[in-house]
Amino acid sequence: MTQSIRIDLFTDVVCPWCLIGTARLDQALATLPEDVNVEILHHPFLLDPTTPEAGQNTKERLKAKYGGDIDAMQARVEGAARDAGVPLDTSVQPMSYPTIKPHTLIRSAAPEHQYGLAKAFAAAYFLEGKNITDDGLLADIAAEHGFTREAALKLIEDEAENNTTKAMAVSASEQGINGVPFFIFNNQFAISGGQPLEVFQRAFRVALGEEALT
């Protein structure tokens, strides 16, 4: 008999720990039996709602926010990414960009396409150094994940749709989600951050009733 798990996932396209967390989630998904169906539904989160439309140098943004040795901070993230099998080099993408438009596409995608689309946007941003405020780029990627190019362009040019996305991101923060990635399993329990593979595997066991939540 097929068993089902629902994951409500809050991420941001420009969050490196989301890149790492979803890579580790993928590793855990690969260990599940074939009779377990996992539905992953994405929700918007804005790592920095004040990022200007033209973008901002990431090192400068991090220095202003945290201070300290930003190179060392990024090196730690790159190391964690490598451990998760992600070839992250932060020098490939020196800029941070606002992410309202990609979030509008992700949340509007069919449920079976949301996770893949979100990962494709993150890969384009982090691994290819692309500007994910570019409408043409977003439409091209969306066209590979269930949209027509025309529908994608129409959606991200719709101010009302983008305002809805902003409101959803604000709501997430108001509900106490202040860091991503954030994973809610079966509306019962949550884990956050780029956790090790074993943490996700245990979360699946709990979600399937094979292990008690302690």
Q: What share of the chain has pLDDT > 70, as a percent?
A: 100
Q: Does 49 sit behind a cis peptide bond, omega within 30 degrees of 0 on the bond before it? A: no
Is it the case that residue 145 has pLDDT exceeding 80?
yes
Task: Say if residues 11 and 18 touch (Cβ distance below 8 Å).
Answer: yes
Is it the case that residue 214 has pLDDT exceeding 80?
no
How large is the greatest C-alpha to C-alpha distance in the chain, in angstroms?
Answer: 53
Q: How far is CA 58 from CA 11, 76, 120, in A?
A: 18, 15, 20
Q: In the predicted model, what is the mean pLDDT of the chain? A: 96
Query: What pLDDT score does 198 carry?
Result: 96
Categorize the per-residue pLDDT at 213 as very low, low, confident or very high, splitting at 50, 70 and 90.
Answer: confident
Query: What pLDDT score does 155 carry?
Result: 98
Across 139-161, average pLDDT: 98
